[in-house]
Amino acid sequence: MMRQYELVERVKRYNPSADEALLNRAYVYAMMAHGNQKRASGDLFFGHPLEVAAILTELKLDDATIAAAVLHDTVEDTEATLDEINKTFGPQIGALVDGLTKIKRLDLVSKRAAQGENFRKLLLAIADDVRVLLVKLADRLHNMRTLQFMTPEKRKRIAEETLEIYAPLAGRMGIQEMREELEDLSFQNLDPEAYEAINRHLHELTLKSEKLVEEIEQDLTAKLKAQGIEASVSGRQKRPYSIWRKMERKSVSFEQLSDIFGFRIIVDTVDECYRTLGVVHTSWPMVPGRYKDYISTPKQNDYRSIHTTVIGPGSQRVELQIRTLEMDEVAEYGIAAHALYKEGINGNSRLANESRAYQWLRRTIDLLAEGDNPEEFLEHTKLELFHDQVFCFTPKGRLIALPRGATPIDFAYAVHTDVGNTAVGCKINGRMSPLLTELQNGDEVEIIRAEGQTPPAAWESLVVTGKARASIRRATRAAVRRQYTGLGHQILERAFERANRPFSDEKLKGALPRLARASMEDVLAAVGRGEMFSGDVVRAVYPDYKDERRAGADGQSAKPNGAAKDGSGDHASGGIPIRGLNPDMPIRFSPEGGAVPGDRIVGILTPGEGVTIYPIQSPSLAAYDNEPDRWIDVRWDLETHDPQRFPARIKLQSINEPGSLAQIAQVIADHDGNIDNVAMKRRTQDFTDVTIDLTVWDLKHLNAIIAELRAKRVVSRVDRVTG
């Protein structure tokens, strides 16, 4: 545990005129207040506020903040009162302790509403004095460093909260070193196996690359010195969580990452930053698209630096950050590096010249503080404040906050579900734009609507918000049901016409009890899906009806025997007998994906060619919507003693690495599937599109193969093609 004189010495290293008496008084007061209280580790509780204070001395914070850190748990966890703190240490420190105490009193994060209310109060306290945030972050960092003494349930909850809230908040305030440590500690507790695996890889890579890093440092230093630029060059490897997140985001393996090591070049002036960039770019070829100038255009959190990537010594990709010493301090310590708070400024703790990061945080807090309830507030802050986000506006000025990468489709659903469902176009800043345009901060978006429009199912994979995905899924299900209902209605009209019996909605409603369905729509949808056969409906409406042409159980059956493996071969009616057709009618499967037992199927009649069998969900069927006479009501009627294989097609994206195709083929072989054809097309440097025609026993067999492929690391996506 840190001694009293050690705390004072830490502060005096960066602030020789520190108020020793204040620091000593805070130390003694907190030590006596906490007495023999113990933490979960068995250590004296007083050691915790001292460690929080020590973390803040690394950020070189003022005496009042250090004293508040030492005292921050006294009112909450001891007999000390806020009045005593105010009298002993003054209203400035009292306000800081009070802000943190209010938060602690509500810190019931196991309950979502309490967590939201707690966090709302934290942000409102920060809006009054940013030092509340700095103490809170240091408090959370020390708790994360000692998390191993908590129960597994508490470790998981605290680590998740840290990763979702406190680490991003530290990043927003520009305190990168703290953000990275919070992320790594959370990662270590949430996924220890992945953390250890990446650490092991990093250790091996460090041993192998030690000489290369040293060579690059020396080479850069020498080239800059030759141009009269004195620079400090240091190599630095990415942190485990940063590597893991990039692997997840890009679906790549550790070995495929090319920028695990980066180099920081610290120079004296802004002019030298740009001169250094010139030296680097004239010495080595730059990687296109990897140059960013955050000096001329700083980030929202005041971060300033030049980023570039070049092909350096040994054809190695080298990521460089070029900045001045002052920029480096802001990059590491963020808002704390601005020294916003000094003592003795007429009792006013806020200087007029606040940092951009703090101004931005205060404006955002003002917007979010108007949330209806604590749970909404917490959801908004997690999704919109801390993750990369964009803020857009409706034509009437309503603010819509969305995750980075959101499109006008996400915007439409954020406004209202009906707006999203009926969206057909948009204007961005007054100009017609595609609905898939990525939105930028400050965009004004106007959604163009058309009543009766249904969102395409493909939108579900293109949007980034959960609300949009769920709404599109619901609308798609409703549209599919309407399609089945329409198809069922057409099938029944033709069935009643063949039976020479009148068909009406009223007669069908009267037969609902005999059909065991609650509504007419249920009957029509069941017929459209192939779950109920049209002949059964005719007999339910007209019990005296006899179908003389009826064969087998129903006579409207498709019975594929010996289907061609490529899905396009013709078969005589002995293979697929269909009621009402010539027994010699040739049958084929959809050439774009085939059909397998378990699919709901429909036949399309082509005069002179025969009948083509499609799964009911096939997009190709849309071409025949206006030709109901070509639709044939068919179903499977397989002989269990004579199993057959049937054609199917799958499309997948695989990672470009040796052996990936072999792994895919092995999965299909292990599951008794038969590959007929493979087509490959390189999508990007990292991914390949693979289309596979195969034959399987039935839908269950096909789904098992797809599920196993999805579990493979080398496969990023698998979908069935249905034509």
pLDDT of residue 134: 86
pLDDT of residue 21: 92
pLDDT at residue 298 is higher than 90: no
Asked if residue 235 and residue 112 are part of one domain, the reply reads no
pLDDT confidence band for 375 (50 / 70 / 90) = low
Q: Among residues 118, 95, 123, which one has the least CA distance to residue 105?
A: 118
Q: Is the dihedral of CA 280, 281, 285, 286 positive or negative?
A: positive
* DSSP codes of every residue in 341-384: --S-STT----SS--HHHHHHHHHHHHHTT-SSHHHHHHHIIII
Decide if 440 is inside a domain.
yes
Mean pLDDT, range 259-285, rounded to an integer: 89
User: Please, what is the average pLDDT of the chain?
Assistant: 79
Mean pLDDT, range 175-189, rounded to an integer: 90
pLDDT confidence band for 560 (50 / 70 / 90) = very low
Last residue of a domain, one of 413, 429, 457: 457
pLDDT at residue 363 is higher than 80: no
Question: How, if at all, do strands 261-267 and 317-324 pair?
Answer: parallel
The number of helices, as runs of H, and strands, as runs of E, in the chain is 27, 18
pLDDT confidence band for 355 (50 / 70 / 90) = low
pLDDT at residue 630 is higher than 90: no
pLDDT of residue 181: 92
Asked if residue 200 and residue 183 are part of one domain, the reply reads no
pLDDT of residue 519: 84
Asked if residue 521 and residue 419 are part of one domain, the reply reads no
Share of the chain above pLDDT 70, in %: 80
Last residue of a domain, one of 193, 208, 226: 193
Q: What pLDDT digit, counting tens, does each position of 645-673 carry?
A: 888 999 998 888 888 888 898 899 888 88
pLDDT of residue 528: 74
Decide if 635 is inside a domain.
no
Of 492 and 337, more confident? 492
Of 122 and 11, more confident? 11
Distance, in Å, from the CA atom of 183 to the CA atom of 175, rounded to the nearest integer, reads 12
This model's pTM is above 0.85: no
Decide if 554 is inside a domain.
no
- Range of weakest confidence among 187-201, 571-585, 634-648: 571-585
Last residue of a domain, one of 159, 193, 227: 193
pLDDT of residue 165: 79
Mean pLDDT, range 182-186, rounded to an integer: 93
pLDDT of residue 168: 81
Q: Among residues 549, 545, 538, which one has the least CA distance to residue 503?
A: 538
Mean pLDDT, range 134-149, rounded to an integer: 91
Mean pLDDT, range 471-495, rounded to an integer: 81
pLDDT of residue 578: 38
Mean pLDDT, range 473-479, rounded to an integer: 81
**The Cα angle at residue 631 between residues 628 and 635, in degrees rounded to 5:** 150
**Do the beta carbons of residue 721 and residue 694 sit within 8 Å?**
no
Asked if residue 213 and residue 185 are part of one domain, the reply reads no
Distance, in Å, from the CA atom of 625 to the CA atom of 609, rounded to the nearest integer, reads 20
pLDDT confidence band for 349 (50 / 70 / 90) = very low
Distance, in Å, from the CA atom of 548 to the CA atom of 693, rounded to the nearest integer, reads 41
pLDDT of residue 497: 83
| Segment of 169-173, 271-275, 362-366, 591-595 carrying the highest mean pLDDT | 271-275
Distance, in Å, from the CA atom of 380 to the CA atom of 497, rounded to the nearest integer, reads 58
- Range of weakest confidence among 215-224, 436-445, 631-640: 631-640
Tokens linked to 312: 């350096």
Residues 6+ apart with CB under 8 A from 169: 133, 137, 386
Asked if residue 129 and residue 204 are part of one domain, the reply reads no
- CATH number of the domain that residue 291 is part of: 3.30.460.10
**The Cα angle at residue 228 between residues 224 and 233, in degrees rounded to 5:** 35
Share of the chain above pLDDT 90, in %: 21
- Amino acid 65 reads T
pLDDT of residue 702: 92
State the residue range of the domain holding 417. 388-457
Active site residues: 76-77
Tokens linked to 291: 């140059």
pLDDT of residue 637: 67
Query: In the sheet where 232-237 sits, what is the strand order?
Result: 232-237, 261-267, 317-324, 306-311, 292-293
Torsion of CA 492, 497, 501, 504, to 10 degrees: 50
The residue with tokens 């698998």 is 718
pLDDT confidence band for 26 (50 / 70 / 90) = very high
Mean pLDDT, range 448-458, rounded to an integer: 85
Asked if residue 244 and residue 172 are part of one domain, the reply reads no
pLDDT confidence band for 469 (50 / 70 / 90) = confident
pLDDT confidence band for 324 (50 / 70 / 90) = very high
- Amino acid 405 reads G
Helix-helix angle 91-105:112-128, to 10 degrees: 170
The residue with tokens 């630095």 is 236
Of 555 and 200, more confident? 200
pLDDT of residue 49: 93
Q: What pLDDT digit, counting tens, does each position of 147-160 carry?
A: 988 888 889 989 98
Question: How, if at all, do strands 232-237 and 261-267 pair?
Answer: antiparallel
3-state SS class at 589:
strand
Mean pLDDT, range 110-129, rounded to an integer: 59
Buried b (16+ CB within 10 A) or exposed e, 486-515: ebbbbbbebbbeebeeebeeeebeebeeeb
pLDDT of residue 382: 53
Decide if 266 is inside a domain.
yes
The residue with tokens 């839908």 is 699
Buried b (16+ CB within 10 A) or exposed e, 102-138: bbeebeebeeeebbbbbbbbbbbbbbebbbbbbbbbb
- CATH number of the domain that residue 657 is part of: 3.30.70.260
- CATH number of the domain that residue 441 is part of: 3.10.20.30
pLDDT confidence band for 336 (50 / 70 / 90) = low
pLDDT at residue 385 is higher than 50: no
pLDDT of residue 487: 78
Residue 402 pairs in a beta bridge with 390
pLDDT at residue 444 is higher than 60: yes
Residue 599 pairs in a beta bridge with 597
DSSP-derived secondary structure letter, 166: I
pLDDT at residue 226 is higher than 80: yes
**Do the beta carbons of residue 537 and residue 495 sit within 8 Å?**
yes
Decide if 253 is inside a domain.
yes
- Amino acid 146 reads T
Of 178 and 246, more confident? 178
pLDDT at residue 341 is higher than 60: no
Own/partner pairs for 250-257, CB < 8 Å, 24+ apart? Answer: 250/686, 251/655, 251/686, 251/687, 251/716, 252/655, 252/686, 253/655, 253/657, 253/713, 254/198, 254/201, 256/655, 256/657, 256/686
Asked if residue 261 and residue 140 are part of one domain, the reply reads no
Within 10 angstroms of residue 29's Cβ, the number of other Cβ atoms is: 20
3-state SS class at 388:
coil
- CATH number of the domain that residue 25 is part of: 1.10.3210.10
Q: Kindly report the length of the chain.
A: 723
Asked if residue 205 and residue 150 are part of one domain, the reply reads no
**Do the beta carbons of residue 308 and residue 280 sit within 8 Å?**
yes
Largest CA distance in the chain: 108
Asked if residue 399 and residue 271 are part of one domain, the reply reads no
Within 10 angstroms of residue 325's Cβ, the number of other Cβ atoms is: 11
**Do the beta carbons of residue 714 and residue 654 sit within 8 Å?**
yes
Asked if residue 331 and residue 208 are part of one domain, the reply reads yes
Decide if 599 is inside a domain.
no
Decide if 426 is inside a domain.
yes
Decide if 359 is inside a domain.
no
Q: Is the dihedral of CA 415, 420, 424, 428 positive or negative?
A: positive
Of 467 and 66, more confident? 66
Asked if residue 77 and residue 134 are part of one domain, the reply reads yes
Distance, in Å, from the CA atom of 295 to the CA atom of 276, rounded to the nearest integer, reads 14
**Do the beta carbons of residue 373 and residue 116 sit within 8 Å?**
yes
Mean pLDDT, range 342-357, rounded to an integer: 42
Q: In the chain, how many domains are there? A: 5
Asked if residue 268 and residue 143 are part of one domain, the reply reads no
Buried b (16+ CB within 10 A) or exposed e, 608-637: eebbbbbbbbbebbeebeeeeeebbbbbbb
**Do the beta carbons of residue 690 and residue 709 sit within 8 Å?**
no
Residues 6+ apart with CB under 8 A from 216: 235, 263, 312, 313, 316, 318
